[in-house]
Amino acid sequence: MKHNLCENIKKNRKAKSFTQEQLAEAVGVSVGTVSKWENGNCIPDISMIMELADFFEISVDVLVGYDTPLKKVPEILDRIDDYYKKHELDEAMMECSKALVKYPNNFDLLMIAARIRYIMWLENRAENNRRLAKELYKKAQINIPDDEKKTRNEFTILHNLALLEKNTKKRIELLKEININGILDAEIGEVYRDDKDIEKAYEFFSEGLYLSSMNVINVTGRWIDPLLHEGKYDTALSMIGYSEMILKTIYKESKASFGTKMLANLEIIKAVIFEAQSKHSEMRECVEKAVEAARIFDEAPAYVIVAGATFWLSKTTEDAPVAFDDQGPSAMKAVEGIVSEFCDEFTGDIKKAAKSVQKYMSFVS
């Protein structure tokens, strides 16, 4: 049976920030003996293995590192997950605690245990749960696997450690450090709100609302192509309707805004879909709306997302995000470009519909 004793002695020594000399002194052997253990030239006897496991505060199985016991971890995780999904947190935590005695450095166990402690803290605000959640996340941070999920796991840990921070100023600092593209604006705003700094809260709530709205619209927009290729026209129209509702809510229709340009794009896509469904009058109405919206934008282009915003309640606009798309600066050219893309990239009903829309556009504009 394969074991990893030599590697684990070295790994756990370094985790404690001990030199070989310090470990040798702590367990009463020579530096040369520790070196031989770590190089695999000799193996400590059973009594020394037990002493080392006690020193490292881990089980003998974990220190020896047999491969076979690790096969049990997925089963344990499944049991914990079953409790977690049923919100039986005490039972889930009990399973975690037992498993971590045997596998104290298992990343997945540490993460689910930390998450459960975090939820328990959210629900009862018990200081003990907050402290234990932090400890578990910090230990998980040391044991992050070097795989494709590493960056995401690092962000999750840093995010939750920030939320567990007691000091308000420090919590804001930690959240700001990982606030990539405004993803944590709402949470930062909430901290300011709870700290009675309403002006700062409005600043982050305003930016958060508009950035998250743009993200939703970008997702639905990118969904349109595959839906049309599969002939799911009504679903595509529902997606567009959702995006239009958002834009018409967060922007004033009476003022030019980047939302105006986005509405022009959505109207022209609707025109192509309606024409593919042989709804000719609806197609013509959408083309006219698209052209009108494009004209309004091009007469007074507005790229800062605060321009024409209904719910930008922050008093500051100096650092307001600037919006852009891949259609170029002119809304009219963007609308024309979208129709051309339909002609080039589609076949059948959509291609035919796009050509009809092109023809009507030339008449309207």
Q: What's the residue count for the chain?
A: 365
Return d(Cα 339, Cα 302) in angstroms, integer. 23
Please check the confidence at residue 365 and state whether its pLDDT lies above 60. Answer: yes
Amino acid letter, residue 139: K
Give the N- to C-terminal CA distance of the chain in Å, as an integer: 78
Asked if domains 5-70 and 73-164 share a fold, the reply is no
The average pLDDT across 262-282 equals 96
Q: Would you say the C-alpha torsion 79, 84, 87, 92 has a positive or negative sign?
A: positive
Angle at 157 between CA 154 and CA 158, to 5 degrees: 85
Please check the confidence at residue 102 and state whether its pLDDT lies above 90. Answer: no
Q: pLDDT tens, 103-146? A: 888 999 999 999 999 999 999 999 999 999 999 999 999 999 88
Task: Give the per-residue pLDDT at 58.
Answer: 84
Contacts of 200 (CB under 8 A, 6+ apart): 189, 192
What percent of the chain shows pLDDT beyond 90? 75
Average pLDDT value for the chain: 91
The average pLDDT across 32-58 equals 90
Residue 35: both structure tokens together:
């070196």
CATH assignment of 5-70, given 1.10.260.40, 1.10.1060.10, 1.20.1250.20, 3.10.20.30? 1.10.260.40
C-alpha 335 chain-centroid distance: 32
Task: Give the per-residue pLDDT at 68.
Answer: 47
Rounded (10°) angle between helices 46-56 and 5-15: 30
Q: Are 62 and 103 in contact (CB under 8 A)?
A: yes
CATH code of the domain made up of 212-364:
1.25.40
Q: How would residue 306 be classed by pLDDT, with cut points 50, 70 and 90? A: confident
The average pLDDT across 277-292 equals 96
Return d(Cα 151, Cα 286) in angstroms, integer. 44
Please check the confidence at residue 1 and state whether its pLDDT lies above 50. Answer: no
Task: Give the per-residue pLDDT at 197.
Answer: 96
Please check the confidence at residue 2 and state whether its pLDDT lies above 70. Answer: no
Q: pLDDT tens, 214-247? A: 999 999 999 999 999 999 999 999 999 999 999 9
Highest mean pLDDT: which of 35-44, 282-291, 302-311? 282-291
The average pLDDT across 258-267 equals 94
The average pLDDT across 2-19 equals 86
The average pLDDT across 282-302 equals 95
Domains of the chain by residue range: 5-70, 73-164, 212-364
Task: Give the per-residue pLDDT at 71.
Answer: 54
The average pLDDT across 48-73 equals 77
Please check the confidence at residue 67 and state whether its pLDDT lies above 70. Answer: no
CATH code of the domain made up of 73-164:
1.25.40.10
Task: Give the per-residue pLDDT at 3.
Answer: 64
C-beta atoms surrounding 13 within 10 Å: 22
The average pLDDT across 333-337 equals 94
Return d(Cα 324, Cα 72) in angstroms, integer. 51
Q: Is 304 helix (H, G, I), strand (E, B) or coil?
A: strand
Q: Is 251 helix (H, G, I), strand (E, B) or coil?
A: strand
Q: pLDDT tens, 148-196? A: 899 999 999 999 999 999 999 999 999 999 999 899 999 999 999 999 9
C-beta atoms surrounding 42 within 10 Å: 12
Q: Is 65 helix (H, G, I), strand (E, B) or coil?
A: coil
Q: pLDDT tens, 307-334? A: 888 988 887 777 777 877 777 789 999 9
Of all helices (H) and strands (E), which one includes residue 347? none
